[in-house]
Amino acid sequence: MAVACALVLLVPGCGEGPEAGEDGAAGPGEPPSAEPPPPAGESGFAGAARVDGFPAIPPSLTGDLLLVDGLLRFEPCGPDGPVGDAQPVEDATGGDARQALDELGYGSDRVRVAAVLEGGEIQEIRYAHPEDQRCLDLLPDARLEARGNEPFWNLQTLNGEAVWRTPEELEGLTWFDGAWEPMEGGAARYEARRDGVDGAEFVRLEIVPERCRDSMAGTWHPFSATVRLGGFTWEGCAVEGRRALPAGP
């Protein structure tokens, strides 16, 4: 039975380092770089229309990619984990499927992925993580999540809000009135605001569609990410979440 792409499921994995290295891979952990803060109350969108510029995300399935007797198979996630019915798939990824197994399978010939499948072909590996990530939680419960390491941080966007978490803010700080704006080459930027002591405060996120590897687990992400907040810059990776489609605020 051919595996067909039916829905979008995206789950959380490890974060990328604060400084991005070559080819989108997270570099060694360093403190976030400081930059001059924008004037209080000034929006980086310069009054642009608040339209939804969230990037187009191809529908994907989460499950396990396996190598059995030299042949690729895909076993989709069910409520309690992989369903136990691994179907053969043709590799149309240009070698990415086998590379993911080599890098993240750790000798098990199995890796957990969010992949684009159509007509019995695996066409793209959106996200790849070692098998220990819970199957249905592979992608975050958000529209998109940017993340990094050393120090740990993540930024989730959902329903016009953004939640920023660090070791000092485990419960998260929430920004409001969030909006996406498209950029060239499939990139996008996001901005949200909150009221601060000295006026409006902004969090800004830019994502670029390129392979980005987590600096600790090696997890594959489809975007590199840059967050600017409070006069500092954090660099890491990003992945669309389970709420990425259908499109919404």
pLDDT tens readout for residues 165-183:
999 999 999 999 999 999 9
Mean pLDDT over all residues of the chain? 81
Question: According to the model, what pLDDT value does residue 33 have?
Answer: 57
Dihedral of alpha carbons 44, 160, 187, 218, sign: positive
DSSP state of 99: H
Q: What is the rounded distance in angstroms from the CA atom of residue 24 to the CA atom of residue 14?
A: 15
Q: Is the pLDDT of residue 62 over 80?
A: yes
- The H or E element spanning position 104 is helix 96-104
Q: Please give the share of the chain, as a percent, with pLDDT higher than 90.
A: 61
Q: Is the pLDDT of residue 125 over 90?
A: yes
β-strand pairing of 220-229 with 161-166: unpaired
> 156 Cβ partners below 8 Å, 6+ apart?
140, 142, 143, 144, 145, 162, 163, 165, 241
Q: What does residue 222 show for φ and ψ, rounded to 5 degrees?
A: -85, -10
DSSP state of 121: E
Q: Which of 19, 10, 9 is nearest to 153 (CA)?
A: 19
Q: What is the rounded distance in angstroms from the CA atom of residue 248 to the CA atom of residue 57?
A: 12
Average pLDDT over residues 208-231: 95
Q: Which of 54, 86, 56 is nearest to 72 (CA)?
A: 86
> 243 Cβ partners below 8 Å, 6+ apart?
141, 142, 143, 158
Under a CB-based contact definition with an 8 Å cutoff, are residues 53 and 247 in contact?
A: no
Q: Is the bond preceding 246 in cis, omega lying within 30 degrees of 0?
A: yes
What are the beta bridge partners of residue 156? 145, 163
b/e map 159-184, b = 16+ CB within 10 Å: ebbbbbbbeeeeeebebebbbbbeee
Map residue 36 onto helix, strand or coil.
Answer: coil
Higher pLDDT, 107 or 155: 155
> 246 Cβ partners below 8 Å, 6+ apart?
none
Q: Is the pLDDT of residue 103 over 90?
A: yes
Map residue 101 onto helix, strand or coil.
Answer: helix
Map residue 186 onto helix, strand or coil.
Answer: helix
Output the CA–CA distances (angstroms, integers) from residue 32 to 67, 148, 188, in the order listed: 40, 10, 21
